[in-house]
Amino acid sequence: MTLGELLIVVIILSIVIFGVYSANYFNQIYKVRDTKRKESLSKLQKILEDFHNDHNRYPSQFELSYELADDVSANWDTALAGKVCGSRKTSQVMNNYFNELPCEPNSPESDYYYLLFDSAQKYAIFTRLENESDPIINEVGCQYGCSYFLDENDPGNSISNHYFNYYVSSSNFLIEPCYRDTDYWSCYPNRPILNDRCKICTDLSCQQGYATIFCKANWCLGNCGN
């Protein structure tokens, strides 16, 4: 082996080692930030439940959010989703429950999104984990993406294009392939037979009239065959 060939081998090995090291390094950073996200949402969940115990409702967007989501109504009284972070709340009503809310690690580029509906009796808080191989993403049913809806009266046709893969919620609200009390969360909401409606998102036939409820908004079209 000539000196030149040896040098090439050393360079290639260095690149490989650097790539592996960098991947591991960034994966660790992602996991640390994701741990903070999970802890933050758990903390928010406790705050919301404490508030509900005292007021028999969850906080309004005006009371908890510092800014409404960019794709909802600009009316604070009717908007379903808002951004949550730190002490940038809109109202002082929450001072008895916290001094400062947890912020998304990458804030202000991204925030936690708070969905409130059903007369302030149900909520969900969404975020996006950076470690997309985290098994909890599958456990909560967000492997194809989760999001909030913009119109409570027509949730299936008003899913936000903002994409998340993790959430926590009130105990009376679950994002599932089939929500058996209504057809809000089913992937085939227009089918008359319940068992036929209860399909997971991977079963979607990309045909007109089918809705990807709480699936990544463009997932169905992006995975359609001819």
Q: Map out the domains of the chain as residue ranges.
A: 3-130
As a whole number of angstroms, the distance between CA 125 and CA 164 comes to 10
pLDDT at position 123: 94
Q: Token pair of 208, please?
A: 């007109």
Contact status, residue 150 vs residue 72, Cβ threshold 8 Å: yes
Residue 162: closest CA among 145, 176, 186, 177: 145
Residues facing residue 149 across a β-bridge? 159
Which amino acid belongs to residue 95?
A: N
As a whole number of angstroms, the distance between CA 140 and CA 85 comes to 23
pTM for this entry = 0.71
As a whole number of angstroms, the distance between CA 60 and CA 45 comes to 14
Can you tell me whether residue 173 is helix, strand or coil? coil
From first to last of the 226 residues of the chain, give the pLDDT tens digit. 576 666 776 677 777 766 655 557 667 888 999 999 999 999 999 999 999 999 999 999 999 999 999 999 899 999 999 999 987 766 777 888 888 888 999 888 889 999 999 999 999 999 999 998 999 987 887 776 788 888 887 666 677 888 888 999 998 875 544 333 333 333 444 444 444 434 444 444 444 444 444 444 444 444 433 3
As a whole number of angstroms, the distance between CA 117 and CA 185 comes to 14
Q: 53-59 long-range CB contacts below 8 Å, 24 or more apart?
A: 57/119, 57/120, 57/121, 58/116, 58/120, 58/121, 58/122, 58/123, 58/170, 59/93, 59/94, 59/116, 59/120
